[in-house]
Structure 1
Amino acid sequence: MALDTLFRDLRYTLRTLRRDTAFTVFVVLIAALGIGASSTVFSVVNTLILRPLPFAEPEQLVWIANGDTAGLSGQTTQVGHMMDLRERTQSLSAIAGYFAFYGTGDNLLSGTGEPERLSGVPVSDNFFQVLGVQPQLGRFFSAEEVVWNGPGAVVLSDGFWRRRFAADPAIVGTSLTLNAEPHTVVGVLPASFDFGSVFAPGSHFDLYFPFPLAEQTDRWGNTMAMIGRLKPGVTVGQAEAGIRTLGARLTAEHPNRNRFGGHVTPLSERVSGRARLAVWVLAAAVGMVMLIVCANLSNLLLARTASRQKELAVRSALGAGRRRLIAQMLTESLVLAGAGAVLGIALAFAGTQALTQLDAMGIPLLRDVRTDGTALAFTVAMAAIAGILFGLAPAFQARSAAMHDSLKDATRGSTEGRSRRWVRSTLVVSEIAFACVLLVGAGLLVRSLVQVLDVDLGFQPAGAATIRVDPDSRYATREQQDAYIDEVLRRVREIPGLDAAGITEALPLGKNRTWGARAKGVTYERGQAPLAYPRMVSDGYFAAMGIPLIAGRDIAPTDTAATEPVMLVNETMARQLWPGQDPIGKSVLGPCAAERRVVGVVGDVRHLALEQSSGNEMYIPMRQCPDRPSHDLVVRSAMGAAPLASAVRQALKPVAPNLAGNDFRTLQELVDKAVSSRRFTVWLLAAFAGFALVLASLGIYALISYSVNQRRQEIGIRMAIGATTANIQRQIVGQTLVLTGIGVVIGAIAAWALARGMEGLLFEVSASDPRTFLGMLIVLTAVATLAGYLPARRASRIDPMVALRSDG
C-alpha cells in the first residue's frame, strides 16, 4: 500500500514537473551546482583529513622533527643522531629517513632517448619497509648497495616507468645512465605510492636512490628527514617524551653535533597540517553555498506552491489529507534534489579530475583526490538533506484550505499571508547573510593575495630565466669544474642581447638549509649562534637576478680557492651581526672555510617564501666551495623565453651537450608556483562567493517579483488615487534595502567572528579589515538594489484600470 502511494506520488510529480520544464531545469541546475561543489570539496577533505594515508597501518606512523622551525634545517637532523635514535629508542619499532635536501631535476638521464632531467630522492635502507610499501616489480636496496661508493642502484616510480619505458617488466636488471654513472634498476614502486604527494606537495619524483648512513655525513649538518613507526601500545605523547629525553642525552654526548630537540607528531597531521586550515575554510564556504542553494530553491518552491493553491485545494476537497499533501510536496523536492545529485555527481567527477591536474599547487595528496564510494555516499546524503531542507517550507504551506477561500478565482488580487511572507523574507535574509560571510572571506583572501604579489621580492623576475647546467663526469676535479663554470659563463655572455649571466646552487623559493654564522670575536653559548642561509654563487649572479649591491664589491671571477675566503651578506645579516657598524671588513666563521671576510652587502631577498621576510643570508663565491650540489645558470635578457632557451642551449652545446629540453624556466614561473596554492584557495573561495551573490540576487528578485504580483490590485489602487511612478519604485526598492540591511548586519557580525578562524591564511591584512567589510556592503547593496529595482520598475508600469478589473 505504501509503495503504491509512493509510485503514485512519483508519477504525479514527474507529470507536474514536465509541465513546467523551465522551472524544473533551473532548479535541477542550481541544485547540481551546489551538490557538485559540495561533493568535490568533500573529496578533498576526505583525502587530506579523513581518509588514512596510503600506507600500512598509517595510524602508527609518526614524523620526527628537530623541534626547531628555522627552515628545513630545523625540521631535519644529522645522520649521526638518526643512527643513534634508531639503535636506542624504546618507543619506536623502526626509524627511517630520506635526504631532505634533494633538488628538483638533480638527475640527468642520458644514453637512452632524449636527455631528461629527473627528480630523485635518496632514502634510508628501510624507508619503504617502515611505510609498509612493497615493490610491484623487483626489490628494494640490498646491504651492498647502501654503502659509500657501492654499486649504483635505483628504484623507479610507477609513473616514470610507464611514461618512459611503456611499463616494460624487463626494465628490472637493466642499467640506466644517470649523471653519467651507471645505475641498475632493482625495482619499481606500486602506483599507490607517491612520495611527492605526501612528503613534497607540488613535486614529482621519478627515482629513489639508497642513502648510505655514516657518521662522516654529519659534516653536512641537519639533512635527514625522519619518520618512525610506533611500537604497539605506545602513544604519540609517550614517543615524544622518549625521543626528547634521548635527544637531550645525545646532544650532551656529542658536543661536535648540532643540538637535537625532538618533536613527534602523527605523520597524517604533518602531511595535512600545511593545508588543513585552507581545506576547512573551503569546506565551510561550500557548506554556506549549499545552505544558500536550499534557501533559494525553497523560496522558488514556495512561490510555485502559492501559484498551485487552487490545484491543492481541489485535491484536498477530493479527500487528500494534510499529510498526503505534505508527502506529495516533499516527493517533488526530493525528485528535484535527486536529479540535481545525478548531474552533481558528474560535475564532482569532473571537478576532482581537474584537481588532480593541479598537483603543482603544493597541496598535499591533491593527486589522490577522487570521487570514491565515500564521496558518492556523501553526495546521496547531501541530496536527501537538501531535498528535505528546501522542500519543508513549501510542504507545510501546502495544507488543506477552506474550499470557499481556496477555490475563489482571486489569485491575482489576493494578498500573501503574513506567515508566508515572513518565511520568504527570512529565507532571503539568510541568503544575504551567508553571501555576506562568503564575500568577506573571499575579500580578505583576495586582499592577502594582492599583498603577497606586491611584496618586494628583492630580485627582478621579469626578463630572467634559469636552466640546470651541472657538470658531467668529464669534469671530475675541482679545477675542472671551476674551468667548466668559467667556460659556461663565457659562452652565454657572448649571446647577442644577453644582459647578464651567473650561476647559483640555490635559487629563490626553493630548498633552504642553515649554517651557523658566528661573528669573529663574539662568544656564543652552544646552540645560540646566529643561523644563516648559505648561497654559493658565481660572479654575475646578482646582476642576472636583479639583486642590488648596497655596499662594497661584487663577487669576482678571481675569488677562487687560491685567494682569500670572502663573502657577501644581506642587509638583515649585517644589521643582526654588526648593529650600527660597517660590516665591510668584518669576519664570519662559516661554511667552506674557517673564516671569511665580508666584502659586500646586497639587498634582502625573499628566498624562503613570498610571505616570509628574509633571514640572514651569506653569499659565498662558488669557486671557493668544493660542495656544490647543483649549478643553476641564471640569464637576463629582453628576448623572449623560447629564443633565449634556444640560444643558451646552442651556446652550451660544446661543453654541456646533454642539457635537458624540459629544464628551462623563467623566474616568473618560480614565483607563480610559490603562490599557486594561495591563488587556488583564493579563486575557489571567490567563485563560491560569486555564486552565492548570484543566488542571493535571484532570491531577492524572486521575492520582490512575487510580492509585486500579489499586490497588483493594491498598487493599481494607489496609482489610481495619485501615487507616482517614483513613489511606487521607492517603496519597493526600500523594501528590498530593508531586507538587505538586516541580512548585511547579521552577516557582518558572523563574518567578523568567523574571519578570526582564517587568520592563518591572511597576509598583512587584518581579519576585521574595514575596507573589505565596506566593499562587501557596497557590492551587496548595489546588487540588491538592482535586483529590487527591476520588479519595482515593472510595478510602476501597471495600468491601474487593468489591475482593478483583474480582481473582478
Structure 2
Amino acid sequence: MSDRLRAFFSRLRAVFSKTRLDDDFNEELAAHVDLLTSENEKAGMTPQEARRAALVRLGGGELTREIHRETRGLPFLEVCSQDFRYAVRTLRRDAGFFAASVCIVGLGIGASATIFSVVNALLLRPLPFQDPARLVWIANDDGGTGGLSAQTVQVDPFLEMRSQNQSFSDMAGYFAFYGVGDSKLTGSGEPERLTSVPVSENFFPLLGVQAQLGRLFNDDECKWNGPRVVLLSHGLWKRRFGSDPLVVGRALTLDDALVAVVGVLPASFDFGSVFAPGSRVDLYSPFPLTPETNRWGNTLSIVGRLKAGASVQSAQADTAVLGARISKEHPNRNDFVPVLKLLTDQVSGKVRPALILLASAVGVVMLIVCANLSNLLLARGAARQKEMVIRSALGAAKGRLVRQVLTESLMLSCCGALLGLLLAVVGTWFVAHLSAVSIPLLEKVRIDGRALLFTLLMAVLTGLLFGLAPALRMPQAQLSDSLKDSSRGSSQGHEHSWIRSALVISEIALACVLLAGAGLLVRSFLRVMDVDLGFRPERAATLRIDPSSGYSTQEQRNVYFTEALHRVLEVSGIQAAGLTDQLPLGRNRTWGVAAQGQVYKRENYPEGFVRIVSDGYLGAMGIKLVAGRDISERDTKGTLPVVVINETMARTLWPGQDPVGRIANIDVDRTVVGVAGDVHHLTLERGAGSEFYLPIRQTQDYGSVDLVVRTNLPPRELAVRVREALRPIEPNLPTTGLRTLQELVDKAASPRRFVVVLLGGFAAFALILASLGIYAVISYSVSQRQLEIGIRMALGASPATVRGLVLRETLRLAVVGVALGIVGALVLTRLAASLLFGVTPTDPLTFGVVVAVLTAVAALAGYLPAARAARIEPMSALRAS
C-alpha cells in the first residue's frame, strides 16, 4: 500500500512540475540522440543520416516525450486539464451564451440557496439551546375558546407537576401574558417603551443559557415582593447602553421604580425569535411562583427537559395520568390537561408545510433551469456539429467528446453557483432583517457551512443534469452527412428538434404547476385580506399610555383615564379615542361567563375573551354597536356593574332572545347594556368567538393600557401631538411604540404574505424561463426550415400563412405542456390544501387564469420567430441552400 501511495504522490508531483521534468527529459533525450548519432557516424553514415537513424531508433522525439509524460504523471488529470482549457477558450469565444447561461444558473442556485438557508434555520439547525432535542413544550388543553388562557397553566398545578412527574429532570415557565412595550424606561435618555418577560428562576438554566455579563436570578429575587432586578437582552445592552460592561449593578428607572441590572444575556439567546416571532424582547424579570401569582389563573407557558431515556410519548402518558389526578384532587382549580410536543416542533411546526412547499417550488425552478440550459446546449451543439464530427473523424473517442461537453456544462454551473452564492448572501441578509414577519428563527437565517455544501452540490447536479442530454446526443454521423446537414437537414437534426420540443413541453408543464400553486395562494391571501375583521384598521393607531405609579388607586386611575381621553380628543385631527388592555390579533385571555339562572356542567361552562375598555373604544376601533349602548364614562366603581357582549356571546348565552338588560355572571353579576359586532381577535382566518367588554373604571384586573385613536394625522406627527397633549398629566410618556392598526393586521398576515411573495417570484421566474425556452426552440426551428419556408413562399404562401404555420407549432407545444401541467397541478395542489383559505385546490378561476396566461405568453414568445419567418425572401433561402 505504501508503494502505491508513493507512486501516486510521485505522479501527482509530476503534474505540478511539468516544465522542470520536461526540461530534464529533453536533456536526457538529447544526450541519447547524440550518443546514437556518434555511433552511427562511426558506422559510416553521414551526419544527417546518423541523426535520423538515431531518432527512428528512439521512436521519434515527440512520441517519446508523450509516452514519458503519460508514464510519469496522472493522464486522466492532465486530460481533464486539457478539457478545462479547451472549454475556457470555447466559452470565451461565445461570451453571450456564457453570460446568459451563468445568469440563469446563478438566479436558480441563488434562490435555491436562499430558501435552503431558511429551511436550514427553521427546520434543520438545532435550536440555540443546550441539548435542544430533549426540550419539550408542555401546553394545556383546557378546552374553552382556544385562547391563550386555555393553553397556559396555573402556578400550583405547575409546581405539583414539576415535583411529581417521572419524565422530566426539570420544568420552567414564563408569564405568557407579558405585554409588548409594557415597561417604561426613564431617567437615562429619552423615555422608551420596552418589552419585559417575567420568567421562573430556573428558566435560563433549563435552556442552558448563561449570562454574558453578571449573573442570572437567585432564589430571593424570585419571591413575592423580592428585590426588583432585571436581566438585559444583548440587543438592548448594545443599543441603549453602548455595550457598557459597567451597566451590571446599575439601577434603572423602570415604571417609575428603581430596578437593579444583575446581568446581560448573550447575543445567541433571542427569546422573541423562538417564543414570540416578530417581537423584540428587551428585559427579563423574575416571576414568583407563589400563592399570589397562583390566584391569577392560567398564566404560565411551560418548557421541560426530558430525563435521559425518556421520550415525548412516555412523558405524555406520565403527565396525562398526573394531570388528571391533580385536577381530581383540586376540583376548584383550573384543569391541567398536558399536551406535549418537542420544542422544535412547537417553534417551527406551523411553518413547516409552507417551507416544504417553498423547497418544492425551488426544486421545480431548478428543473426548469436545467431544461432551459439543456435546450441552449443542444442548439449550441447543433451549431458545433461539424466541429464534433471532425474531431471524431480525427480519432477522438465518444467518451472524450462527452466529457468535453460535461466539462463545459459543469464550468457554466460552477460560475453560476458563484453568482448564486453572492445572490444568496444578499437574499439571506434581506430575509433575516424582515423584522415585521412573525416567523420563528427568521433572524437566524444565514449562509453557513451546510448552505455552502448545498450550493456546491446544486452546482454539480445542475451541471450534470443540463449537460446530460447534449452529451448523450453526440453526433455519430459521417463527415459527409454532417456537411449535408447544414443545407437539407438530417435525421439527427430532427431527433434533436424532438428532444428540444420535449424539454420545452416539460418547462411549460412545470411552470404551469408553479403558477397554479402560486395563484391559489395569492387568491387565498386576497381572501384573507378581504375578511371582515369586525373593526376598521385604516386611519387608526395605538399608543401605550400606562398611568405612572403616582396613579395607584382605582379612583386615581379613573381620573387619569378621563383626563387623558379628554385631552387626546382635543387634539386637532383626532375624531375618536378609547382605551383597551388587549389589542386585536395579539395575546388574549378568557374568563368564565354564564347567563344568570342557567346551570352548566363543568366541562361545558361558557367562556369568553375579555377586553377591559373605556368609553370611545368601539368608535375608535370602528366596531359597530348592534344593540343597546356603549360603555360610558359614568360606568365607574360606584355604579351598576355593566358589560357589553358581542353577537356570538349573545347567541351562546341567550339564543333567540334580546340580551340587553339581562344579567351575566362574570367576576360579579353584570347587566348587559349593549351588543357589539363580532371581531377577529385571534387570527385573520379564524372567526370571532364569544367576547365581552368590561368598563375600565369598574375593574383593576388589567396590566397595560393602550390608547386607540381614529385620525387622519401621520403616525410620527400623531405621536408628538399625543405626547404634548398628555405631558401635563404624564410628563415621561414615550413617543416610541406608536403603531397603526394596519400594522397589526399586516404582521398577522406576514407569514402568509412571505410565502406568497416568494412562491409568486418563483412562478414568475419559471414563466420567464419557459417563454425563453419556447422562443429558443421556435427560433431554431425557423432557422432549420428556411429552405422549406422559402419554397412555400415561392409557391405562393403568404406571410400570414407562414406566421400561422409557426404559431401553430408554438401553440401545439403550449397546449401539450399546459395539459400535462394542469394534470400535475390538480394532483399536487391538494398537498397544499392546509395553506389555502376560502379557495379549493381545484379552483376553476385560478386554473383558467393559469391556462390563459401560459397560452398568451407562449403565443407572444412564438410571435417574434413567426414574424421573422414571414420576412424570409424565397430566393435568398434557395441560394443559401
Is TM > 0.5 for Structure 1 vs Structure 2? Answer: yes
**1:201–1:359 CA contact under 8 A, matched in 2:** no
308-317 or 321-330: which moved more?
308-317
Q: In the alignment, which residue of structure 2 is the partner of 1:361?
A: 437
664-673 or 268-277: which moved more?
664-673
State the AA in 2 paired with 1:230. Answer: L
In structure 2, what is the Cα distance between the partners aligned to 1:68 and 1:353? 41
Q: In the alignment, which residue of structure 2 is the partner of 1:91?
A: 167
- Stretches of 4+ moved more than 6 A in 1? none
Q: 1:255 aligns with which of 331, 346, 359?
A: 331
Q: 1:740 aligns with which of 784, 807, 814?
A: 814
In structure 2, what is the Cα distance between the partners aligned to 1:167 and 1:497? 41
State the AA in 2 paired with 1:796. Answer: A
Q: In the alignment, which residue of structure 1 is the partner of 2:675?
A: 601
Q: In the alignment, which residue of structure 1 is the partner of 2:298?
A: 222
Q: In the alignment, which residue of structure 1 is the partner of 2:311?
A: 235
Q: What TM-score, normalized to structure 2?
A: 0.90
Compared with structure 1, are the counterparts of its residues 25 and 68 closer, same or farther at alpha carbon in structure 2 (3 Å cutoff)? farther
State the AA in 2 paired with 1:631. Answer: V
Give SS of 2:185's match: strand
536-545 or 214-223: which moved more?
214-223
**1:549–1:602 CA contact under 8 A, matched in 2:** yes
Q: 1:653 aligns with which of 717, 727, 732?
A: 727
In structure 2, what is the Cα distance between the partners aligned to 1:513 and 1:392? 60
**2:134–2:305 CA contact under 8 A, matched in 1:** yes
In structure 1, what is the Cα distance between the partners aligned to 2:312 and 2:384? 62
Q: In the alignment, which residue of structure 1 is the partner of 2:346?
A: 270
**2:370–2:465 CA contact under 8 A, matched in 1:** yes
Q: In the alignment, which residue of structure 2 is the partner of 1:301?
A: 377
Give SS of 2:226's match: coil
Please report how far the alpha carbon of residue 754 of structure 1 lies from its aligned counterpart in structure 2 after TM superposition.
1.2
Compared with structure 1, are the counterparts of its residues 787 and 643 closer, same or farther at alpha carbon in structure 2 (3 Å cutoff)? same
Q: In the alignment, which residue of structure 2 is the partner of 1:675?
A: 749
**2:541–2:710 CA contact under 8 A, matched in 1:** yes
Q: In the alignment, which residue of structure 1 is the partner of 2:229?
A: 153
In structure 2, what is the Cα distance between the partners aligned to 1:801 and 1:783? 33
Q: Does residue 1:775 correspond to 2:849, yes or no?
A: yes
In structure 1, what is the Cα distance between the partners aligned to 2:344 and 2:308? 18
Q: Does residue 1:370 correspond to 2:446, yes or no?
A: yes
Q: In the alignment, which residue of structure 2 is the partner of 1:508?
A: 584
Q: In the alignment, which residue of structure 2 is the partner of 1:766?
A: 840
Please report how far the alpha carbon of residue 415 of structure 1 lies from its aligned counterpart in structure 2 after TM superposition.
7.1
Equivalent residues in 2 for 1:516-527, closer than 5 Å: 516-527=592-603
638-647 or 179-188: which moved more?
638-647
Q: In the alignment, which residue of structure 1 is the partner of 2:44?
A: none
Please report how far the alpha carbon of residue 199 of structure 1 lies from its aligned counterpart in structure 2 after TM superposition.
0.6
Please report how far the alpha carbon of residue 383 of structure 1 lies from its aligned counterpart in structure 2 after TM superposition.
0.5
For residues 531-554 of structure 1, the C-alpha deviation after alignment (integer angstroms, 9 at most, x for no partner) is 100000001111111111110111
Equivalent residues in 2 for 1:84-483, closer than 5 Å: 84-408=160-484, 410=486, 417-483=493-559
In structure 1, what is the Cα distance between the partners aligned to 2:879 and 2:858? 32
Give SS of 2:602's match: coil
Q: Does residue 1:60 correspond to 2:134, yes or no?
A: yes
Q: In the alignment, which residue of structure 1 is the partner of 2:780?
A: 706
Q: Does residue 1:722 correspond to 2:796, yes or no?
A: yes
In structure 1, what is the Cα distance between the partners aligned to 2:136 and 2:569? 50
In structure 2, what is the Cα distance between the partners aligned to 1:385 and 1:415? 30
Compared with structure 1, are the counterparts of its residues 626 and 409 closer, same or farther at alpha carbon in structure 2 (3 Å cutoff)? closer
Aligned residues: 805
Q: In the alignment, which residue of structure 1 is the partner of 2:762?
A: 688
Q: In the alignment, which residue of structure 1 is the partner of 2:707?
A: 633
Please report how far the alpha carbon of residue 187 of structure 1 lies from its aligned counterpart in structure 2 after TM superposition.
1.0
**1:10–1:331 CA contact under 8 A, matched in 2:** yes
**1:415–1:711 CA contact under 8 A, matched in 2:** no
Please report how far the alpha carbon of residue 422 of structure 1 lies from its aligned counterpart in structure 2 after TM superposition.
2.1
Q: 1:554 aligns with which of 599, 612, 630?
A: 630
Please report how far the alpha carbon of residue 274 of structure 1 lies from its aligned counterpart in structure 2 after TM superposition.
1.6
Q: What TM-score, normalized to structure 1?
A: 0.98
For residues 772-807 of structure 1, the C-alpha deviation after alignment (integer angstroms, 9 at most, x for no partner) is 000000000000011111111111111111111111
Q: In the alignment, which residue of structure 1 is the partner of 2:574?
A: 498
Please report how far the alpha carbon of residue 491 of structure 1 lies from its aligned counterpart in structure 2 after TM superposition.
1.0
In structure 2, what is the Cα distance between the partners aligned to 1:362 and 1:248? 35
Q: In the alignment, which residue of structure 2 is the partner of 1:613?
A: 687
For residues 571-626 of structure 1, the C-alpha deviation after alignment (integer angstroms, 9 at most, x for no partner) is 11111111100111122111xx3211111001111111111111101000001111
731-740 or 342-351: which moved more?
731-740
529-538 or 519-528: which moved more?
519-528
In structure 1, what is the Cα distance between the partners aligned to 2:713 and 2:250? 43
Percent identity between the aligned chains? 58
Q: 1:45 aligns with which of 110, 119, 132?
A: 119
**2:538–2:742 CA contact under 8 A, matched in 1:** yes
Give SS of 1:193's match: coil
**2:382–2:493 CA contact under 8 A, matched in 1:** no
In structure 1, what is the Cα distance between the partners aligned to 2:515 and 2:592? 46
For residues 496-538 of structure 1, the C-alpha deviation after alignment (integer angstroms, 9 at most, x for no partner) is 3321111110111111111111221111111311210000000
Give SS of 1:220's match: coil
Q: In the alignment, which residue of structure 2 is the partner of 1:568?
A: 644
In the alignment, structure 2 segments of 5+ residues that lack a partner are 1-74
**1:413–1:806 CA contact under 8 A, matched in 2:** no
In the alignment, structure 1 segments of 5+ residues that lack a partner are none
State the AA in 2 paired with 1:55. Answer: F
In structure 1, what is the Cα distance between the partners aligned to 2:724 and 2:476? 85
**2:371–2:466 CA contact under 8 A, matched in 1:** yes
Please report how far the alpha carbon of residue 563 of structure 1 lies from its aligned counterpart in structure 2 after TM superposition.
1.1
Give SS of 1:360's match: coil
Give SS of 1:559's match: coil
In structure 1, what is the Cα distance between the partners aligned to 2:874 and 2:529? 58
Q: In the alignment, which residue of structure 1 is the partner of 2:28?
A: none
409-418 or 385-394: which moved more?
409-418
For residues 698-722 of structure 1, the C-alpha deviation after alignment (integer angstroms, 9 at most, x for no partner) is 0000001011111111111111112
208-217 or 7-16: which moved more?
208-217
In structure 2, what is the Cα distance between the partners aligned to 1:259 and 1:51? 35
Please report how far the alpha carbon of residue 408 of structure 1 lies from its aligned counterpart in structure 2 after TM superposition.
4.1
In structure 1, what is the Cα distance between the partners aligned to 2:715 and 2:129? 42
In structure 1, what is the Cα distance between the partners aligned to 2:476 and 2:567? 90
